[in-house]
Structure 1
Amino acid sequence: MSSSSPLFRHVSTCIVKPPPRPRTRCHLAVWDLSMFNASYIQKGHLFSTHLLSRLTIADVVDRLKTSLSTALLHFYPLAGRLVTEEAVDEQGNVTGIYVSIDCDGQGAELTHVVADGITVADVLAPSSDVPSFVRSFFRLDGVINYDGHSEPLLAVQLTELADGFFVGCSFNHVVGDGTSYWQFFNAWAEIARADGAAAEMSHPPVHDRWFIDGSGGLPIKLPFTRPDEFIDRPTQPPLYRERIFHLSAESIARLKARANLECGTSSISSFQSVASLLWRCITRARGLPAEQTTHCRVATQNRARLQPPMSPDYFGNSIYPLPAAATAGELLAHGLGWAARLIHETVAGHTDTAIREKVEAWMAAPVVYKMNMFDKFSVMMGSSPRFDVYGCNFGLGKAVAVRSGTAHKFDGKVTFYPGWEGGGSMDLEICLEPPFMSAFEADEEFMSAVSPSPELQWLQDLADSRDA
């Protein structure tokens, strides 16, 4: 990289609107309403211009703009804005508020930026921390979901690099969860491949929100009269280092076999095996006292667990962070399988009955989650290696890598992605405070499971092709 402080030059910003459709109001479900204090989901793809044939960056911007307009016709809540209305009793007293999405085609934001001096290789940095400039690939940094009253619910930034580009999306978490995010991203790419045509999509979104009483979407009243009663903005950014670690399919298979052997079962999944490894190794790196309770929180889907199950194409939020608990002493005194069993039992207990009990409890006493609810002794496993991350084909070649912004990052946050080469491999985006990361990088149990990143081979192949 030519400069340690790359210059980002703004080229253009426009509002992309969908074709006209009737104005509608999208009432929010329980899982949506609890997300006001969270940040926008920030994920994006890195592309190399080496993989393009005749397209210029101007062609790419035009393709993204045209296809995004069509995508917003199908995913119309993303083109709307949040609105809040007061609930008033017969005496004129405010008794609460209703928050919904006004779907009137207000539009999403598309920004074009040039990052002078940054190359694809600079972004990948496979043997070091994720570069700090990656956070500048995303719009709406530091914005919380409740700001969607005035900010767009979707903001896309195309960052032009010296030999590639990055497409980063900031997606309001009130509108949907990670499943919904990748559902939208893949549908948008599908439309782009069809040159923006409004053909039938392979997986059209299901917009009817899930309400436990079967009301069909009557608004839920929140027991607040002012935003300051439930809005909690972060006061300062957390301090952490961030690294990407790669686990091959073979390494994960060995972990899974080991966990199941230690448990005398075959029910431990690949994800649970990797999560238990991370929980143990991060706890050890932190040097927690033996008596300190620590949790492994796993972002868990409700869609298929409800009876009847929700559509897999449900466009909204439907997740809970489920905590498995142990003391640090217990966790490190026992093996990988012991921790994996705890996680497995926690997830297995998340049944239709358990979900409905959580929803009923929330309805009896609504709460908006605060980001400081997460304790410093625990780990949080987010996203999923099952998301179709590298199937997002905009007709621009396969993405070289996926990266994320600063949203939802703190000490102990782990984000799972499928590995670039597929086949059951995984990439782990791990955030830890600097001293903990240094200890984690030296942890023999974890590092023995880490595999060389395929990005290294990709970079070498690219260099060889340029020299040829």
Structure 2
Amino acid sequence: MSSPCSSSSSSSSSEVKIISKCFVKPKTLPEKWKEPYHFAPLDHFVLTIHYIQKGLLFLKPSFPESGDDAKEDFMQTLLEKLKDSLATTLVHFYMLSGRLSSLKSESQTSHSVFVDCNNSPGAGFIHAESDLSVSDIVGSKYVPLAVHSFFDHHKAVNRDGYTMSLLSVKVTELVDGVFIGLSMNHSIGDGSSFWQFFNSFSDIFNSQEDTTDNNNNNKLLCLKNPPIFRHVSGPMYSLPFSEPDESISFYETPVLKERMFHFSSETVRWLKSKANQECGTTEISSFQSLTAFIWRSITRARKLPNDQETTCRVAAGNRSRMNPPLPPNHFGVYVSHVKTTTTIGDLLENNFGCAALKLHQAVSEHTIEKITYELDRLLKYHITLEEYRMSSLNIVHMGSSPRFNKYGCEFGMGKAVAVRSGYGGKYDGKVSAYPGREGGASIDLEVCLLPEFMEALESDQEFMSLVSSSSS
């Protein structure tokens, strides 16, 4: 169910032109559609941060003899199939087609937030064109700023979900490729839920290849691992503000350099072996070792006094840590921060293994008791996640995860060439981890730094000697 697309010639940047916009609703309306989807306590505090913005870059099929007509037919067919698949996927993820709304207390001094699916036009769907090529995106030393315009809801924070769609799909046609960018309200789901939706979207799209008539629609409604939603009978938590705007503080990201650094399977295994050998253990993981390596490298590039503190923070999934544990397909925000802090002198003067061991210990101590304590502190003092996130100086924050099945999303164009992200959630010291395109234990790191720190990092021989030249 989608609204007619409206055409437009306005552009969001010099390289990207919007061709059409429309909204898409679930193909069938589940009974849950009528019920408000109330926020859990933590969800309220995610309202201050940006939408999740991740997307996939694909190569167009070649049309050596068919000319422009075949290219137009390909794009038109792709867009229609994407919209139809989105409508089917939203049957499972129905709240992503809603809007945020508030329920005020009788005293008008507090409010709780919920998703209203009854008074919403649906999820966004945008078709855009760009004069850039695939090589302009993956061949550049730094991620071009134009990539930010491949996503809807530029600079939007989750609070904007009162008036903006909670999910928007932007399909940008490049000269020789297609970029599918998803923007999802982070207060509805975390990175695990985001990629669960993206993979479900892809699975339903690909299942259309086996569907020849409407009698097979039931096949499209089947998912191997459908999302599981918590049961909420009513408002669970109220924010002590009469209007939602009072709880929001906005953060403007400074001009950053963004670059993708590729670490091969062999390099990742070597870092793990080195960290464990230096500490006389076998418990430190590959990801903890790589995170420690990037923490030390960025800290060294900042050239700050040894007596200052530095913090490394990792986004940790909490589903398996809950009591009882939740299954991986439990949809929502189940993530918190694991962090360790030390002086810059201690971090850089000791060997690499010491930093990896600090991270390992912090992860090991991240129990349900500690998670509950931190959440209670947020609720008691009404600390916004933006305030909490920016409370540490000289921070290196590792977000996303190489475990997410990002290259498993295909939309009739084969395996994606690369994963890229939008403006949302970036600041000096923000690092995002993606699986390497070739698979195995390879990892791509998207590093965001102030220009002078990026230049220093690129001049660090120890760091660059472990970076593979085959970065996507």
With normalisation by structure 2, the TM-score equals: 0.89
Q: Does 1:11 align with 2:19?
A: yes
Report 1:192-207 matches (<5 A): 192-195=205-208, 197=217, 198-207=220-229
Q: Please give the alpha-carbon distance, in whole angstroms, between the structure 1 residues aligned to 2:468 and 2:152.
A: 32
Q: Which residue of 2 aligns with 1:406?
A: 423
Q: For 1:151-187, what per-residue CA distance to the aligned partner results, in whole angstroms no more than 9, with x for missing partners?
A: 0000111000001110001110011000000000000
Which whole-Å CA distance do the structure 1 matches of 2:374 and 2:38 have between them? 20
| Partner residue of 1:185 out of 198, 201, 207 | 198
Change over 3 Å in CA distance of 1:407–1:315 after alignment to 2 = same
Offset from partner CA, 1:348-406 (integer Å, 9 cap, x none): 11112212222333343433222572444111100001000001122321111010001
CA, structure 1 residues 354+412, in 2 after alignment: closer, same or farther (shift >3 Å)? same
1:60 to 72, 78, 86: 78
Which range is displaced more, 221-230 or 45-54?
45-54
| Residues 284-315 of structure 1, C-alpha deviations (whole Å, 9 max, x = no match) | 00001100011001001110011210121111
Q: Which amino acid aligns with 1:20?
A: L
2:151, 2:94 → 1: CA distance? 22
Equivalences for residues 256-295 of structure 1 within 5 A? 256-295=272-311
Number of residue pairs aligned between Structure 1 and Structure 2:
439
- Give the whole-Å Cα distance in 2 for the aligned partners of 1:341 and 1:163: 46
CA–CA separation in structure 2 for the residues paired with 1:42 and 1:320: 19
Instruction: Give the secondary-structure state (helix, strand or coil) at the position aligned to 2:116.
Output: strand
Residues 423 and 221 of structure 1: is their aligned pair in 2 closer, same or farther, counting only changes over 3 Å? same
* CA deviation after TM superposition for structure 1 residue 261, in Å: 0.4
**Correspondence list, 1:215-294, <5 A:** 218-234=235-251, 236-294=252-310
Q: Matches of 2:241 and 2:435 in 1, distance apart?
A: 41
Q: Does 1:121 pair with 2:135?
A: yes
Task: Quote the Cα distance in structure 2 between the aligned partners of 1:346 and 1:307.
Answer: 20
Deviates more, 1:304-313 or 1:183-192: 304-313
Query: Alignment partner of 1:121: what SS?
Result: helix
Give SS of 1:370's match. helix
Given that 2:49 and 2:158 are in contact with CA atoms closer than 8 Å, whether structure 1 keeps it comes out as: yes
Report the Cα offset of residue 217 of structure 1.
5.5
**Amino acid paired to 1:101:** V
Q: What secondary structure, in the 3-state scheme, does the structure 2 residue paired with 1:330 have?
A: helix
Displacement after TM superposition at 1:33 (Å)? 1.1
2: CA distance, partners of 1:180 / 1:199? 18
Determine the structure 2 residue equivalent to 1:377.
Answer: 394
Aligned CA RMSD, in angstroms, stands at: 1.8
C-alpha distance in 2 between matches for 1:364 and 1:435: 39
* Matched-pair contact (CA < 8 Å) for 2:193–2:331: yes
Q: Secondary structure at the match of 2:321?
A: coil
Distance 1:159 1:376 in 2: 37
Q: CA deviation at 1:103?
A: 2.4
In structure 1, the residue matched to 2:123 is: 108
1:223-243 deviation line (CA, Å, top 9, x unaligned): 111234311122x43121010
Is the aligned partner of 1:416 residue 2:430?
Answer: no
Which ranges of structure 2 fall in alignment gaps of 5 or more residues? 1-12, 65-69, 212-216
- Any conservation in 2 of the 1:52–1:396 contact (CA below 8 Å)? no
Secondary structure of the corresponding residue to residue 430 of structure 1: strand
Q: Relative to structure 2, which stretch is displaced further, 73-82 or 15-24?
A: 15-24
Shift of 1:46: 0.2
Please state whether the residue corresponding to 2:427 is helix, strand or coil. coil
Candidates 55, 60, 82, aligned match of 1:44:
55
Partner residue in 2 for 1:305:
321
1:321-336 paired onto structure 2 within 5 Å: 321-336=337-352
1:99 matched to which residue of 2?
113
Q: Which amino acid aligns with 1:99?
A: V
What's the offset of the Cα at 1:216?
Answer: 5.6
Structure 2 CA distance for partners of 1:307 and 1:51, relative to 1, 3 Å: farther
Name the stretch that deviates more: 280-289 or 96-105.
96-105
Counterpart in the other structure of 2:330:
314
Amino acid at match of 1:61: L
Q: 1:52 to 1:261 in 2, by over 3 A?
A: farther
Note the alpha carbon deviations across 1:296-350, whole angstroms, 9 max, x for none: 0100111001121012111110111221111000000011110001111111111
The residue that corresponds to 2:6 in the other structure is none
Query: Where do 1:133-172 residues align within 5 Å?
Result: 133-172=146-185
Deviations 1:86-128 (A, max 9, x none): 101xxxx323101111123631010001102x111111125x1
* 1:422 CA drift (Å): 0.3
- Which amino acid is 1:247 matched to? F
Tell me the distance in 1 between the aligned counterparts of 2:288 and 2:313: 11
TM-aligned CA distance change 1:217 to 1:333, over 3 Å: farther
SS class of match (2:431): strand
- Equivalent residues of 1:376, 1:412 under 8 A apart: no
Q: In the alignment, is the contact (CA less than 8 A) between 1:246 and 1:428 conserved in 2?
A: yes
> 2: CA distance between counterparts of 1:8 and 1:240?
21
d(CA) in 2 for partners of 1:407 and 1:46? 18
Task: Tell me, in whole angstroms, the C-alpha distance in 1 between the residues paired with 2:435 and 2:385.
Answer: 28
- Residue correspondence of structure 1 range 332-351 to structure 2 within 5 A: 332-351=348-367
CA contact (8 A) 2:154 2:423 kept: yes
1:367 maps to 2:353: no
Shift of 1:51: 6.7
1:20 aligns to 2:26 (yes or no): no
Letter in 2 for 1:194: S
In structure 1, stretches of 5+ residues that fail to align are: 210-214, 456-468
2:29 maps to amino acid: P
Change beyond 3 A, Cα 1:454–1:411 = closer
Q: Is the 8 A contact 1:303 1:318 kept in 2?
A: yes
Q: Out of 156-165 and 15-24, give the one that drifted further.
A: 15-24
- Using structure 1 for the length normalisation, give the TM-score: 0.90
SS in 2 for 1:382: strand
Q: Name 2:145's counterpart in structure 1.
A: 132
